[in-house]
């Protein structure tokens, strides 16, 4: 008995039905054909619905399916496999001009309103980093920007050395440095480590310390 998912449909749903109803009874064949048609229409609808849901999910989360065959893993990029950052998006008002990839400090700008400003490990400012600007543009004062918090993959910073640990810089410009401060009063905040010159596995969940 030859079976088919559907006559002309590639679907993960296997109806496990013969290609045509197997009966010598003309009346039964006619009625069974109607049932077959209904089932295949339902199969096509559900398959299309599944495809639409997967597409919408990819559009909203940035998720991209990857091959199960390990022989194809060399084609994958970190952005296709490390997706934790997609669940840590915050939209907040910039109280100073900001740019793509800058580390920011979140604070109460007054009246219980959250704001974002440039992070700095300097002993004067002591502004720990809570996230980085993930909007690929220059953000003007008073505008809202997307900031990624928590932990995940950052592709907004370049010029890094693979395998190097990075910390919040004291420069006051919201940047990172491979140098761990030992100066009294400065913040020591581990930001992450580089897996490529422009890919950082970051972690803003680690509690920063202040050098005694």
pLDDT band at 118 (very low <50, low <70, confident <90, very high): very high
DSSP the chain: --EES-SS---S----EESS---S-HHHHHHHHHHHHHHHHHHHHHHHHHHHHHHHHHHHH------S-GGGGGG--HHHH--GGGG-EEEEEESS-B-TT-EEEEEE-STT-EEEEE-B--TTT-B---EEE-SSSPBPTT-EEEEE-SEEEE-S--S--TT-EEEE-SSSSS-EESPPP-STT-EE-EEEEEEETTEEEEES-SPPEE--
Which has the higher per-residue pLDDT, 182 or 29?
182
**1-20 residue pLDDT tens:** 444 444 455 677 777 777 77
pLDDT band at 57 (very low <50, low <70, confident <90, very high): low
Average pLDDT, the chain: 87
**58-105 residue pLDDT tens:** 655 555 555 566 677 787 788 878 888 888 999 999 999 999 999 999
- CATH class in words for 79-210: mainly beta
* pLDDT value at residue 6: 47
What ranges do the domains of the chain cover? 3-61, 79-210
């Amino acid at each position: 008995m030859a079976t088919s998912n559907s006559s002309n449909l590639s679907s993960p749903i296997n109806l496990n039905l013969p290609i045509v109803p197997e009966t010598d009874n003309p009346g039964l064949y006619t009625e069974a054909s109607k049932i077959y048609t209904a089932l295949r229409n339902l199969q096509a609808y559900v398959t299309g619905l599944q495809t639409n849901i997967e597409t919408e999910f990819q559009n909203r989360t940035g998720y991209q399916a990857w091959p199960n065959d390990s022989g194809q893993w060399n084609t994958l990029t970190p952005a296709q496999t490390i997706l934790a950052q997609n669940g840590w998006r915050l939209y907040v008002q910039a109280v100073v001009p900001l740019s793509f990839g800058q580390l920011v400090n979140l604070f109460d700008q007054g009246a219980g309103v959250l704001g974002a400003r440039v992070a700095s490990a300097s002993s004067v400012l002591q502004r720990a980093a809570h996230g980085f600007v993930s909007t690929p543009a220059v953000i003007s004062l008073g505008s809202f920007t997307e900031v990624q918090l928590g932990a995940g993959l950052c592709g907004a910073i370049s010029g890094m050395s693979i395998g190097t640990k990075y910390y919040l810089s004291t420069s006051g410009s919201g940047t990172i440095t491979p140098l761990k401060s030992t100066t009294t009063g400065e913040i020591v905040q581990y930001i992450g480590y580089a897996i490529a010159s422009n890919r950082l596995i970051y972690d803003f969940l680690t509690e920063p310390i202040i050098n005694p």
